Amino acid sequence: MRDRRRWWAATLLVWLGCTTPAPSPLPAGIAELRLPSDAPTLLRLGVDEDATGRVERRREVLAGLNRQLLMPPPDAALVPELYDFVTVLAPRMESGVVSPAWGSYLYTTYQRDLRTERPDGKPRRSPPEIATVLDHWIAFYDIRPNPHVVAGSTVEGQGFEATQSWRTERRLGR
């Protein structure tokens, strides 16, 4: 009788272990950076605020990007250079050279390195220096343009094109 209960208990435990799904770790997948506006708009915002010496609107943009990537907002001292990095990264993302997943990786890496190397944000790198760093990373990681991304297309446009190609594939199978 005792052996039979142990057998049933063991069978029940094995069955429960096999049938209950394991909890999935959050967040699932790769975070993908979505820029709030196009490259010229981001550049214009940065130039306007640099002229006045304010950082409020740039801080809002960066706080939104950090929120997408589940990170706290950047320190005020890092906002000008980090925003310059985003303005240098934006045209590369729009042209399809850098994917949203790679964009999130490069953005978080630059922010981490900036916080570690220069926590006060000084001396501030110029946009050409930032472009050199970004180009070096693109070459180092061998990031190549995605042939399926149309240059200048928006996220909404890419979603529409993906849905359209999916429907075309389904239609061909009929």
Stronger pLDDT, 5 or 22, i.e. the higher one: 5
- Cis bond leading into 73, ω under 30°? no
pLDDT digits (tens, 9 = 90+) for 146-172: 776 665 566 667 677 778 777 888 887
pTM for the model: 0.71
Annotated domain spans of the chain: 29-142
Helix axes 39-52, 56-68, angle to 10 degrees: 140
pLDDT score recorded for residue 145: 84
pLDDT digits (tens, 9 = 90+) for 8-40: 877 766 766 666 554 443 343 457 888 988 899
When pLDDT is averaged across residues 49-72 and rounded to a whole number, the result is 92
Give exposure, 7-16, as e/b (b: 16+ Cβ within 10 Å): eeeeeeeeee
56 by Cβ neighbours in 10 Å (0-12 / 13-18 / 19+) ranks as exposed
> Residue type at 43?
L
Asked if pLDDT for residue 143 goes beyond 80, the answer is: yes
User: What sign for the dihedral angle of Cα 13, 18, 20, 22?
Assistant: positive
When pLDDT is averaged across residues 91-98 and rounded to a whole number, the result is 89
Q: What percentage of the chain exceeds 90 in pLDDT?
A: 51
DSSP state of 78: G
pLDDT score recorded for residue 155: 61
Among 110, 40, 33, smallest CA distance to 74 is for 110
When pLDDT is averaged across residues 58-81 and rounded to a whole number, the result is 93
pLDDT score recorded for residue 3: 77
